[in-house]
Amino acid sequence: MDTTPEIELTDAPERGRYEARIPGAADVAFAAYERRGNQIVFTHTEVPSAFRGKGVGNALARFALEDARRQKLSIVAECPFIRAYLKRHPQYGPDSSDSPSSSATDEAAVDEAIIESFPASDPPAWMP
């Protein structure tokens, strides 16, 4: 039986973020961004603890990156969560290395960001 919740995904440009909601839940997960010309800079992602382990963060990152790609925006990942997602999903393009803080050769920094972002007791669902 599939226990994955229905996830509603939207872009909320007036708030500068993509949002993920589970119907009936008060919490909102989001990936904050800034538009800079033809770039979208992901600055912060937040997934409430009630949503962790349910695929909400993955769905949110995938939706945001696919939307950016659809708009032909260059992706800059300042956010450790989005950087980690891009590392594991390179199909979202080489633009992910445009950020000075996200080098493809700096895997240790990305791994450290993942550890800091997710306590060992509550790893994200997408981590192996």
74-113 exposure pattern, b = at least 16 Cβ within 10 A, e = fewer: bbbbbbbbbbbbbbeeeebbebbbebeebeeeeeeebeeb
CATH superfamily of 8-117: Gcn5-related N-acetyltransferase (GNAT) (3.40.630.30)
H/E stretch holding 25 reads: none
State the Cα–Cα distance between residues 21 and 8, nearest whole angstrom.
5
State the Cα–Cα distance between residues 43 and 78, nearest whole angstrom.
5
Write the pLDDT tens digit of every residue in 23-80: 999 999 999 999 999 999 999 999 999 998 899 999 999 999 999 999 999 999 999 9
Strands (E) across the chain are located at 8-12, 17-21, 29-36, 39-46, 74-77
Write the pLDDT tens digit of every residue in 62-71: 999 999 999 9
Write the pLDDT tens digit of every residue in 95-112: 444 444 444 434 444 444
pTM equals: 0.72
Residue spans per domain, the chain: 8-117
